[in-house]
């Protein structure tokens, strides 16, 4: 009997299948937090069991994922989009007492072309401002001081970071919209307000000073190489 030619070597087939299985396990979301752990408020349901047992396998995959660079997670705007609209400024007090405001690159205020190139600043801030990464703040403030160190005789002495935050208010859900629409049609008082209801207004930004760095001149000179 003639030997059938392989379409690909066995070792490639094995590697492909292992890779497919590993990244599939990695990419599946975790089980809902309110259904697992000692503080669970409810039982797992249906496909959530798959997520629960899948989650137990994930730690074993980390060496493969991180060593090869194939780690991945597709939780963009998930489980919910952020409702945190904000930016950071710094109040820089110089040695001679003068005060200057610095705005960490804010996409909203940049031109259409420039913001496309500077988006990394927004992404960095999304992670760096977070309370869970408070250890980044010292370096963040020091770098801002370095960026504003223009006169050797008058270095920044203090940097105060401010978060300006506006939380996006909830709007009418789609289900509520349909119910209102049905009621209005039933009552014969359909109007533009029902067809296209108003949205809540964004609240004004709140200003919160969340970190202060007393700048050591030695650190500043080391950073700027002066």
Least spacing, CB of residue 28 vs another protein, in Å: 6
Q: Which of 88, 94, 140, 162 binds another protein (CB under 8 A)?
A: 140
SS (H, E, C) the chain: CCCCCCCCCHHHHHHHHHHHHHHHHHHCCCCCHHHCCCCCCCCCCCCHHHHHHHHHHHHHHHHHHHHHCCCCCCCCCCCCCCCEEEEEEEEEEECCCCEEEEECCCHHHCCHHHHHHCHHHHHHHHHHCCHHHHHHHHHHHHHHHHHCCCCCCCCEEEEEEEEEEEECCCCCCHHHHHHHHHHHHHHCCCCHHHHCCCCCCCCCCEEEEEEEEECCHHHHHHHHCC
Residue 87 engages another protein in binding (rule: CB under 8 A): yes
Least spacing, CB of residue 224 vs another protein, in Å: 7
Task: Write out the two tokens for 114.
Answer: 């420039």
Q: Which is nearer to another protein, 10 or 153 (CB)?
A: 10
Q: Which is nearer to another protein, 66 or 189 (CB)?
A: 66
Residue 20 engages another protein in binding (rule: CB under 8 A): yes
Residue 18 engages another protein in binding (rule: CB under 8 A): no
Subset of residues 105 to 134 that bind another protein, contact rule: CB under 8 A: 106-108, 112, 115-124, 127-128, 133
Subset of residues 143 to 162 that bind another protein, contact rule: CB under 8 A: 143, 146
Contacts of 25 (CB under 8 A, 6+ apart): 54, 57, 58, 61
Subset of residues 177 to 216 that bind another protein, contact rule: CB under 8 A: 177-178, 196-199, 202
Task: Count residues binding another protein (CB under 8 A).
Answer: 79
Task: Write out the two tokens for 61.
Answer: 């995959």
Q: Which of 37, 38, 97, 170 binds another protein (CB under 8 A)?
A: 170
Subset of residues 34 to 53 that bind another protein, contact rule: CB under 8 A: none
Task: Write out the two tokens for 22.
Answer: 């590993």
Q: Which is nearer to another protein, 97 or 186 (CB)?
A: 186
Among the listed ranges 36-44, 74-82, 90-98, 209-217, the one in contact with another protein (CB under 8 A) is 74-82
Least spacing, CB of residue 73 vs another protein, in Å: 7
């Amino acid at each position: 009997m003639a030997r059938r030619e392989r379409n690909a070597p066995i070792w490639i087939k094995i590697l492909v299948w292992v890779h497919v299985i590993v990244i599939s396990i990695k990419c599946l979301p975790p089980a809902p937090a309110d259904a697992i752990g000692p503080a669970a408020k409810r039982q797992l349901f249906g496909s959530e069991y798959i997520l629960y047992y899948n989650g137990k396998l994930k730690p074993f995959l980390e060496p493969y994922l991180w060593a090869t660079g194939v780690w991945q997670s597709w939780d963009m705007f998930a489980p919910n989009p952020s409702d945190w609209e904000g930016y950071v400024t710094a109040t820089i007090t110089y040695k001679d007492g003068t005060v200057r405001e610095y705005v960490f690159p804010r996409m909203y205020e940049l031109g259409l072309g420039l913001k496309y190139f500077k988006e990394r600043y927004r992404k960095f801030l999304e992670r760096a401002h977070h309370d869970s990464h408070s250890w980044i703040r010292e370096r963040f403030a020091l770098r801002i001081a370095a960026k504003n160190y223009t006169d050797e005789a008058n270095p920044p002495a203090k940097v105060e970071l401010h978060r300006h935050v506006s939380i996006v208010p909830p709007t009418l859900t789609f289900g509520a919209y349909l119910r209102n629409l049905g009621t209005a049609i039933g009552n014969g008082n359909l109007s533009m307000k029902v067809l296209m209801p108003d949205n809540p207004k964004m609240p004004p930004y709140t200003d919160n000073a969340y970190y202060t760095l007393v700048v050591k001149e030695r650190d500043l000179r080391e950073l700027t190489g002066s």
